[in-house]
Amino acid sequence: MDWQKWIQQSLPRTEIMRGGATVWPKGGDRLIGDTLGPVMHLHDHASEIFYFVSGRCRLQVGDTEEYFTAGDFVLVPPQTPHNLWNAGDEDLAVFWLVAPHFANNKWRTEDITRTEMARRVQRIRPDLEQPLPSDENVHSRLIGLSAERPVNEATGLGQEAVIYIHSGTVYVRVGKLGGVLQENEFVHVPVNTAYTVRAHIAPATVFIFQMPAERKRQ
């Protein structure tokens, strides 16, 4: 994957969410665009997800450490202290989301309690046979697609979504705009907007992240 091209994709920062594509380059000292740097922190009343696209990650979670590789998915619940590093000899590419987005309280680095240090993340190797870790802030799904059976849904009032192509080539329509997306490309769905996803030619899989969890189906 050409990560320099991959991180040019962007997502809007709204009251509901923030996130996108980032990389810790080989030999670097932090994730690109990370103003905080590798510092233990937590998100008050907000959840975070990580999907590791390439490389190897060392994730400090409270008073423990875990390691992740490409294809791993992680949900960091609210008030769970965490910190990550590139633990490999290659670039570490990470897709992430935080919801909701509190512009005046993005993270907390001080006054972390023993109870908070004892909290843990939820991790999974995504497949179609089991649900992804979710909570009231972020509802995550991995969906299998075919060209004959599209998924037609809509965000509700006060809700947004992100569609991330996990594998294959997918036709995506958001509102009145549509196009074909490739593996590891993604798109934002605004509040109260209909969207359609279907496999372009061969079967494909997509992540759909909905924030907050309640959703409206068409």
User: Can you tell me the mean pLDDT for 197-212?
Assistant: 96
At residue 190, the pLDDT reads 98
At residue 149, the pLDDT reads 86
* Segment 110-154, tens digit of pLDDT: 999 999 999 999 999 999 999 999 999 999 999 999 988 899 999
* Segment 176-189, tens digit of pLDDT: 999 999 999 999 99
* Confidence grade of residue 217 (pLDDT, cut at 50, 70, 90): very low
* Segment 12-48, tens digit of pLDDT: 999 999 999 999 999 999 999 999 999 999 999 999 9
Q: In what order do the strands lie in the sheet with 177-181?
A: 177-181, 170-174, 194-199, 151-154, 216-217
> What is the C-alpha separation between 208 and 205, in angstroms, rounded?
10
> What is the C-alpha separation between 192 and 185, in angstroms, rounded?
22
Residue with tokens 């999907």: 51
Q: 3-124 belongs to which homologous superfamily? A: Jelly Rolls (2.60.120.10)
Burial 183-213 (b: 16+ CB within 10 A, else e): bbbbbbbeeebebbbbbeeeebbbbbbbbbe
* Confidence grade of residue 214 (pLDDT, cut at 50, 70, 90): confident
The domain locations on the chain are 3-124, 139-217
User: Can you tell me the mean pLDDT for 52-69?
Assistant: 97
Question: Are the CB atoms for 133 and 124 separated by under 8 Å?
Answer: yes
DSSP 131: P
* Confidence grade of residue 70 (pLDDT, cut at 50, 70, 90): very high
Q: What's the CA angle centered on 16, arms 143 and 5, to 5 degrees?
A: 60
Residues pairing with 97 in the sheet: 19, 49
Q: Is the pLDDT of residue 159 over 60?
A: yes
**Backbone φ and ψ of 185, nearest 5°:** -95, 160
Question: Are the CB atoms for 77 and 134 separated by under 8 Å?
Answer: no
Q: 139-217 belongs to which homologous superfamily? A: Jelly Rolls (2.60.120.10)
SS3 at position 61? strand
Domains 3-124 and 139-217 share a fold: yes
- Chain-centroid distance, C-alpha 174: 19
- Mean per-residue pLDDT over the chain, rounded: 95
> What is the C-alpha separation between 157 and 66, in angstroms, rounded?
37
User: Can you tell me the mean pLDDT for 43-64?
Assistant: 98
Q: What's the CA angle centered on 12, arms 21 and 180, to 5 degrees?
A: 65
Helix (H) or strand (E) holding 74: strand 73-76
